[in-house]
Amino acid sequence: MSERTDGHRAGGSGEAGEDGVPVDESTRKRLGHGARDMVWSLAVLLAIVGVLTWILGSCQLSPGGPSVDPDAVPDVDADRELARMARRVDFPLRTPELDEAWQATSANMSTASGQGGDRIVRVGWVTPEGEYARLAQSSAAASFVVTDEAEGVSQEVEPEGSVDIGSREWAVYPAREQEEAWVTSIDGVRVMVTGSAGEQELRTLAEAAQVADPS
């Protein structure tokens, strides 16, 4: 029997590959699926990298942990929001006057846990040092305010100390991730400052709230 001269062995049914070895239909399909799977995997990987890049872009690393990039967060008019919420609560709110380097990023209100309708009004800022600080004001008892605002703290928590700001004493409670929550009562209203900000910036916020005129 004579040999075939078209690069196929007698009886072969597939096309020859680059090395002259026949490739049947099922092999070609597997190769095609493999290529498509690689393309999809690469697309998913690029999407994940893009999301991580966006998330990391909103934070800056600092010796004490990640800090907030002011350019990557919302900008809120704290004065206007506090004035708006003051009309919806039955206790006076204080609007602290802060340097323009303090960027308000959030303002909201909720009902204190287990307090029969008492509200908590809060405003958050990115501080000049790129950290976060929050002011909360409420007619609820201090233990409920701390429980709601300090995250993960039980209502049985006791102060671990105090700080004096002017002539007023603020109780210092433990909060999330080694943060602190400072609480005082002014004219029957619980005022609290907390966040990742350091002691000096918490003191700045507490003092500004303390001397602000109620509205």
Q: How would DSSP label each residue in 14-49?
A: SEE-TTS-EE-HHHHHHHHHHHHHHHHHHHHHHHHH
Structure tokens at 156: 């049985």
Q: First-to-last CA distance in the chain?
A: 107
Q: How many residues does the chain have?
A: 215
25 pLDDT above the threshold of 80:
no
35-72 pLDDT, tens digit per residue, is: 677 777 777 788 787 666 555 544 443 334 445 555 65
Is residue 12 pLDDT above 60, yes or no?
Answer: no
pLDDT number for residue 60: 40
| Cα separation, 1 vs 204, whole angstroms | 99
**In this structure, are residues 109 and 119 in contact, taking their beta carbons and an 8 Å threshold?**
yes
Q: Is the torsion defined by CA of 136, 163, 130, 149 positive or negative?
A: negative
Of the pLDDT bands very low, low, confident and very high (cuts 50, 70, 90), residue 81 is very high
Backbone angles phi, psi at 66, to 5 degrees: -70, 140
Burial class of residue 3 in the structure, from the number of CB atoms within 10 Å of its CB (0-12 exposed, 13-18 middle, 19+ buried): exposed
Q: Are 162 and 183 in contact (CB under 8 A)?
A: no
Q: Can you give the pLDDT at residue 9?
A: 43
- What is the per-residue pLDDT across 180-211, written as a single tens digit (0 to 9) for each? 999 999 999 999 999 999 999 999 999 999 99
Residue 143: per-residue pLDDT: 86
The pair of three-digit structure tokens given for residue 75, joined into one six-digit string: 């900008």
